[in-house]
Structure 1
């Protein structure tokens, strides 16, 4: 009888101890995970969707610029000199819903060639600057929405800066100001 009691106690303790392990303790938070997965999947996307036909060896570079804190959006720079391609990929990752309300996990890339990427990043910066007094007039409540290509951008202020949500296809990804600024700065630096 005592042996069974000790065995049950040992199992309960083992389950309790192993349940205390978190993916955050292992360094696998959303931001870290998103960057790793984005870099990995971006290479295939670039090969198939951006570079296209490959008759001879084609060299290209891709580099993750920044990931949002939630890990829903990662920006990546790419360049392929042989095919004269350069731009920004927006890597969307996370849950999305279909019209029936079924939740899926998905991953997709939005390609912005060099000039479009510059225009996109500049438009966000300009719209936020133009609407700064309205947004900070009632922090957290005053909201703006605008469109770029097939994306809708929603922005509102917090006490220090802005928060944004990017709606593209079935994705709804948060993009905080720090990640946006880091993406823009690193992207423009790569263009030099």
Structure 2
């Protein structure tokens, strides 16, 4: 009987020691991973896809503005005075599965020109203000959705205002704190 208890305890300990731990289970870990990785990977995106690197040296800057607590979305601002380019990059992070069923961390970047960034940030803020009473009247039940370019947005209240952004197979949560920080920092730094 004693051997059975020891066997059960050994199996439980072995299971816990070999269990996989989610990288996004800790709010701070997910946020830091997203912001650090987004900055690192976005540099290549801006260099290759936006400013089109050439044999001539081109100066550009990229600055992470805010990362959502979920770790699914990070906003970054870029400027390239040499080519008169500036805008907002949204970095999307999430888990994907390949044909073999292997889980991996996927990411993609969505570029918003300076004008598009101002437009979408203002539109989201305006919609939240205009429909605040409706969203608050029945939290997590009343929703507001709209499309902008190739992105779909879902706004609802659950403790605070939540914004879900659907794009290119990603479903990223952008809570109001990260959204407001993005809007404030982008508007202050862009010009």
Residue correspondence of structure 1 range 58-69 to structure 2 within 5 A: 58-69=58-69
Q: What TM-score, normalized by structure 2, do the two folds share? A: 0.82
> Counterpart in 1 of 2:31?
31
CA shift digits 1:52-93 (9 cap, x unpaired): 141311011001110000100000010010011101000000
The answer to whether 1:178 aligns with 2:148 is: no
Q: Corresponding residue for 1:55?
A: 55
User: Any stretches of 5+ residues in structure 1 without a counterpart?
Assistant: 1-10
Q: Shift in Å at residue 144 of structure 1?
A: 1.0
Query: Is the Cα contact below 8 Å between 2:72 and 2:93 reproduced in 1?
Result: yes
Q: Are the aligned partners of 2:27 and 2:70 in contact in 1 as well (CA < 8 Å)?
A: no
Distance in 2 between residues matched to 1:183 and 1:54, nearest whole Å: 30
Decide whether aligned partners of structure 1 residues 129 and 102 sit closer, same or farther in structure 2, where only a CA change above 3 A counts. farther
Q: What is the match of residue 88 of structure 2?
A: 88
* RMSD between superposed Cα atoms in Å: 3.1
* Structure 2 equivalent of residue 8 of structure 1: none
Q: Does 1:135 align with 2:135?
A: yes
- Count of aligned pairs: 178
Whole-Å Cα distance in 1 between the matches of residues 102 and 46 of structure 2?
29
Counterpart CA distance in 1 for 2:132 and 2:89 is 27
1:79-158 equivalence runs, <5 A: 79-96=79-96, 104-158=104-158
Aligned residue in 2 for 1:167: 166
Q: Is the 8 A contact 2:78 2:87 kept in 1?
A: yes
> In structure 2, what is the Cα distance between the partners aligned to 1:89 and 1:124?
16
Q: 1:170 to 1:97 in 2, by over 3 A?
A: farther
Distance 1:149 1:57, change over 3 A: same
The DSSP-based 3-state class of the residue aligned with 1:106 is strand
Unpaired stretches in structure 2, ≥5 consecutive residues: 1-9
Aligned to 2:6: none
TM-score, structure 1 length as denominator? Answer: 0.82
* Equivalent pair of 1:144/1:156 in contact (CA under 8 Å): yes
Q: Deviating runs (4+, > 6 A) in structure 1? A: 14-20
Please state how far the C-alpha of 1:102 moved relative to its aligned partner. Answer: 8.2
Alpha-carbon distance, 1:18 to partner: 7.0
User: 2:63 & 2:74 partners in 1: Cα distance?
Assistant: 11
